[in-house]
Amino acid sequence: MTPPRIDSKTTTTTRREFLGKASAAAAGAALVSAIGARSYAAENNTIKIALIGCGGRGSGAAHEALSTKGPTKLWAAADVFEHRMQASLQGLERAKKQQAEVPKERQFVGLDAYRKAIDALDKGDVVILATPAGFRPIHFEYAVQKGVNVFMEKSFAVDAPGVLRLQKAGEASVQKNLKVAGGLMWRHCAAREEAIKRIHDGQIGELTMLRAYRMHGPCGYTPKQPGMNELGHQISNYNSFTWLNSSFFVDWHIHNVDTCCWAKNAWPINAQGMGGRAARQAPDQMWDHYLVEYTFADGAKFFAQTRQMDKCYGIYSDIVHGTKGSAILMESLSAPNSRLYKGHVQTSENEIWRHKAPVPNPYQLEHDLLFDAIRNDKPYNETERCAKACMAAIMGRMAAHSGKLVSWEEASNSKLELAPGLEQYTWESNPPVLPDAQGRYPYAVPGETKEL
């Protein structure tokens, strides 16, 4: 079965719709009246927030959620590491004062802490899921069972069974009218939105090739600290272990994979690729480079390259080629303005359109849209798109790690779990990969590694 095309008429509120309605919603009395009439927030109209996963991205997401319009309160926090949770809460309290004060009785530590934090919320409140991706389907499923709205960071799963679990919970969330946002923030970037609309309108013709790059310095690795057990060591280095973050191709490159599939308005039908460890010396599982070739149903190609190495060419960009011209969707994090060109020589004289307006912070906008949907009971659920973007990235990893041509059907129907029984883990459990006598962990070897 060919994966479905991406519907350009998503159920999410677009930036244009949001801004158009914002002025009407600005009348405080009307907004309070609307909130008071609904069943999606507490009686005092304050939306309570639970933060699960108190690292840098989780702390950032909490700050953004607390910066949305209307009263919000950080109500509970959970992490497997006490020191990380305390550092996060201290930083949030400095920035947001009483809005981010969380009493000790609502601070939870441990592998089951997510349950306690979610249980502290009322139906219609919001949980931020920002732990390593291996835990995401478990935590998301529990949040949906409890009837709370969700912001979940990318990536969203590490294997096909995890993606399927995410999708099933997503279907239940739609039935319960819960609002769900995923951390693919470039979907809410004004420059990309306008460029991709123009691409879908045919301004550069039919797309024949897409290129995505994320190349920068290496991700760090911390040796096991005295007194820390193996499970804690791997969670603290989650970027380095595939069962936790699904590989850096998935966890970091998912943004580019999603953006290019959005531009193509389709998901790929297969992938083949390569990569390995050319320079990395850390004893972990991480590859330091990937090149994946995706193919779409119409034969168009999408090449996704990513690298983590010192002293090498760096680029973070998405580039699109069509039968009439080409486009740069992103040139770097510091230069987000998208551009369209006649032909494929991307010089100023060939430029036919450039996004020139200021670009609102997409990290903040994704929370603004979610909380606006909650307060005004608008349809808003990004689960299915996030799941398919994650599956596309996982298919690329499967192809590179195994050295095989992998179809969408093979990838999505895979029964291979990277961490079987993860839901039953305790702090004394052994993780699914262990070091050898020299302290080195097994990493993928094409032709030998099983990914399906």
Confidence of residue 336 (pLDDT cuts 50, 70, 90): low
Mean pLDDT of the chain: 91
Model pLDDT for residues 127-175, shown as the tens digit of each residue: 999 999 999 999 999 999 999 999 999 999 999 999 999 999 999 999 9
pLDDT at 331: 82
DSSP 35-95: HHHSSSS-TTSPEEEEEE--SHHHHHHHHHHHTSSS-EEEEEEEES-HHHHHHHHHHHHHH
Shared domain check, 167 and 238: no
Model pLDDT for residues 251-266, shown as the tens digit of each residue: 999 999 999 999 999 9
Residue 432 lies in a domain: no
378 class by beta-carbon count within 10 Å (0-12 exposed, 13-18 middle, 19+ buried): middle
Q: Domain limits at 212?
A: 198-360+392-424
Shared domain check, 374 and 256: no
Residue 63 lies in a domain: yes
Residue 79, pLDDT > 70, answer yes
Confidence of residue 20 (pLDDT cuts 50, 70, 90): very low
Shared domain check, 402 and 377: no
Residue 8 lies in a domain: no
Shared domain check, 114 and 205: no
Shared domain check, 109 and 58: yes
Shared domain check, 414 and 368: no
Confidence of residue 14 (pLDDT cuts 50, 70, 90): very low
For 367, the 3-state DSSP assignment is helix
Residue 106, pLDDT > 60, answer yes
Angstrom distance (rounded) from CA 124 to CA 224: 40
For 314, the 3-state DSSP assignment is coil
CATH number at residue 376: 3.40.50.720
43 class by beta-carbon count within 10 Å (0-12 exposed, 13-18 middle, 19+ buried): exposed
Shared domain check, 299 and 414: yes
Residue 32, pLDDT > 60, answer no
106 class by beta-carbon count within 10 Å (0-12 exposed, 13-18 middle, 19+ buried): middle
Residue 134 lies in a domain: yes
Model pLDDT for residues 258-293, shown as the tens digit of each residue: 999 999 999 999 999 999 999 999 999 999 999 999
Residue 62 lies in a domain: yes
- Strand pairing report for 339-342 and 325-330: antiparallel
Please choose, from the candidates 272, 295, 270, the residue with its C-alpha nearest in 3D space to the C-alpha of residue 412. 270
Shared domain check, 288 and 203: yes
CATH number at residue 355: 3.30.360.10
Residue 69 lies in a domain: yes
The single-letter DSSP state of residue 420 is T
Please choose, from the candidates 102, 99, 47, the residue with its C-alpha nearest in 3D space to the C-alpha of residue 78. 102
Confidence of residue 428 (pLDDT cuts 50, 70, 90): very high
Which amino acid belongs to residue 242?
T
Compute the chain's Rg from CA coordinates: 22
Angstrom distance (rounded) from CA 266 to CA 279: 35
What residue has token string 């497997």?
A: 80
Q: In what order do the strands lie in the sheet with 47-52?
A: 107-109, 72-79, 47-52, 126-129, 149-152, 180-182
Residue 417 lies in a domain: yes
Contacts of 311 (CB under 8 A, 6+ apart): none
Shared domain check, 163 and 211: no
Please choose, from the candidates 346, 296, 342, the residue with its C-alpha nearest in 3D space to the C-alpha of residue 318. 346
For 14, the 3-state DSSP assignment is coil
Mean local confidence (pLDDT), 1-11: 41
The single-letter DSSP state of residue 12 is S
Domain count, the chain: 2
> Bridge partners of 211?
303, 319
Shared domain check, 120 and 36: yes
439 conformational bin, left if phi > 0, alpha if psi -120 to 50, beta if neither: left
For residue 62, give both structure tokens: 């909490």
- Enter the pTM of the model: 0.90
Residue 418 lies in a domain: yes
Shared domain check, 212 and 109: no
Confidence of residue 8 (pLDDT cuts 50, 70, 90): very low
Shared domain check, 181 and 72: yes
Maximum alpha-carbon separation in the chain: 67
pLDDT at 209: 98
Mean local confidence (pLDDT), 335-342: 86
Residue 33, pLDDT > 50, answer no
pLDDT at 337: 82
DSSP 197-253: HHHHTTTT-SEEEEEEEEEESPPP--PPPTT--HHHHHHHTGGG-HHHHS-HHHHHH
